[in-house]
Chains A and B, each alone.
Chain A
């Protein structure tokens, strides 16, 4: 479930990156983040499948819910890393403009 959610996040991020108008949102970083994690979880899934065989595809409902919750948390963490980096690097200069703006 974690792998599935991360793969979906990676695909959505990649589609957003491909259809972007400019590179100021630095979506490429988000793509690499999710694809890297997806590949790693894919390897983990293969090893788990080798160990559990068909049982791998019939997880308990509680395990599935926990994995889904973990997957969503992983996606959220990826988004937090990306947004923090975006604000720190400030490619559009929006943060700098906001900070240097004089109060009326």
Chain B
């Protein structure tokens, strides 16, 4: 009904956090310029992955809701908002399906970050061994 709104909310918060982190990293990079560069993935880049997954998933899911006539182009935009019983069902769906969606996307992203960090830290020779195997 409107489960994608939970992901949209998380996407807004993560986008804001990503922009702030990016700004902080830029100013930090200016102060430590010239020092040896650290081999790691910046947090802002990782947050960008999460924002793309959340925004992308939410937009495509919103399209599905338009397809099924649950989202309309006129106020209040959600057809469930016109009936109190439907509204209660919608909030229940947001609290269950919507929250689970956001949590699973975030969990997958967290695992992805861990794997990406281990790949970056892995010596190049080991990568070639993996390729040969």
Interface set of A (CB-CB < 8 Å, partner B) = 2, 6, 28-29, 32-44, 46-47, 70, 73-74, 77-78, 81
Contact = CB atoms under 8 A, between A and B. Distances in A.
Contacts of B17: none
Nearest to A32: B52
Interface residues of B, number: 24
Interface of B: 3-4, 7, 49, 52-61, 63-64, 67, 96-97, 100-101, 104-105, 108
Nearest to B107: A39
B52 A37 contact: no
Given A32-B49, A44-B3, A39 B56 contact: no
Contact of A43 (B55, B64, B104): B104
Contact of A40 (B7, B49, B67, B96): B7
B100 A36 contact: no
Given A2-B64, A39-B105, A40-B7, A78 B57 contact: no
Given A43-B97, A43-B100, A44-B97, A36 B54 contact: yes
B52 A36 contact: yes
Given A36-B105, A40-B101, A43-B104, A74 B60 contact: yes
A46 B58 CA distance: 18
A42 B54 CA distance: 14
Contacts of B97: 43-44, 47
Closest 9 CB pairs of A and B: A36-B57, A33-B56, A36-B53, A32-B52, A37-B60, A36-B56, A40-B57, A40-B101, A37-B57
A81 B59 contact: yes
A39 B10 CA distance: 15
A38 B57 CA distance: 7
Contact of B64 (A34, A36, A70, A81): A70
